[in-house]
Structure 1
């Protein structure tokens, strides 16, 4: 377990380098059917995100119209004005998703929660493998047309807000993350297969800039239609 974990962390830039930074920011161009299903087809279509690297927080700006921004933390989600004034907030936001299915519309604060915990997870991976309380176990390789991908089954600690406690990561022969499987618990436990590609190097750290998420089948395959979520990243910054 530790050998594969250490190998993939090193392949993405290494833990000593990663720990020099406090946050990562990026510009986002997002699409896919999920946003319309949840009632917000354009709110986060073009925006920027910043996420913490040492504590769990994220912020999208703009968040829709009016110069607003979001603030996500595991126990609280808020919408703020451009000068930081709180416009509305929600404590214990995950509890608000009780009984939701994939088709259940979200409120703006629920959208802010989902987008925040998702982008925090994505932008911190695979360095999250070294987070306190994270557990991982290597699985059998997954065959692809480009060769076998090594896999890690990951269990997140209870204090981390993410898609699901159990997730699976796939890595190519160079140790780069290629696929990320999870169930979206707050959307009826919907299974997703999340593919990443088009890596760039930023301050010595490798980041994928293209993300495509599809519905995962029980056999581990995926349905190419519909495209559930697309995320294209640019202008990635570490600070």
Structure 2
């Protein structure tokens, strides 16, 4: 049993193939982060600051640069989040540290829904400029779609 599963990646090289456990670890921490934004930004160990973004492609109004503490289960220590005027996440940019080489990735976020008062994307198109992305082999991550069924029950 690996207590700190991410430490297993320390012995990996770029050509090391991933197995199902590697994929589940990666997808597990990734989804945890996707579904817990913006709540984890309230953690005093996570530093967020507003920065001027490069270009506005999809109506983004402001950009947050987020610095995570060492050991935090996420893609990389520094990530960028672009939001529109309605506080909807439009893009997320990061590097995948466990790949052992600079692997830029970004999500373009679409089809936002509302939970309570919080908007969240139900579709993320994940892209990287690295050809092949062999670390997912034989898996292919094309998109992440979230479908939420809201049920209303009458109060007793």
For normalisation by structure 2, the TM-score amounts to: 0.77
Indicate if the aligned counterparts of 1:195 and 1:212 stay in contact, CA closer than 8 A.
yes
Taking only aligned residues, the RMSD between alpha carbons, in angstroms, comes to 2.3
TM-score, structure 1 length as denominator? 0.52
TM-fit CA distance, 1:236? 5.9
The one of 15, 19, 23 aligned to 1:111: 23
Q: Write the deviation string for residues 168-191 of structure 1: whole angstroms up to 9, x where unpaired.
A: 111112221111111100123411
Who is 1:210 aligned against? 123
Distance in 1, matches of 2:118 and 2:86, equals 14
Aligned pairs for 1:1-239 (under 5 A) are 89-98=1-10, 99-101=12-14, 103-188=15-100, 189-216=102-129, 229-235=142-148
Query: CA 1:91 to 1:107, structure 2 compared with 1: closer, same or farther past 3 Å?
Result: farther
Instruction: Answer yes or no: is the 8 Å Cα contact 2:60–2:82 preserved in 1.
Output: no
| Cα distance, 1:196 vs structure 2 | 1.0
5+ residue gaps, structure 2, are: 131-139, 151-156
Counterparts of 2:55 and 2:73, CA distance in 1: 31
More strand by share: 1
Q: Secondary structure at the match of 2:32?
A: helix
SS for the counterpart of 1:144 is coil
Query: RCO (CA 8 Å, sep 6+): is it higher in 1 or 2?
Result: 1
Unaligned 5+ residue runs, structure 1?
Answer: 1-88, 218-226
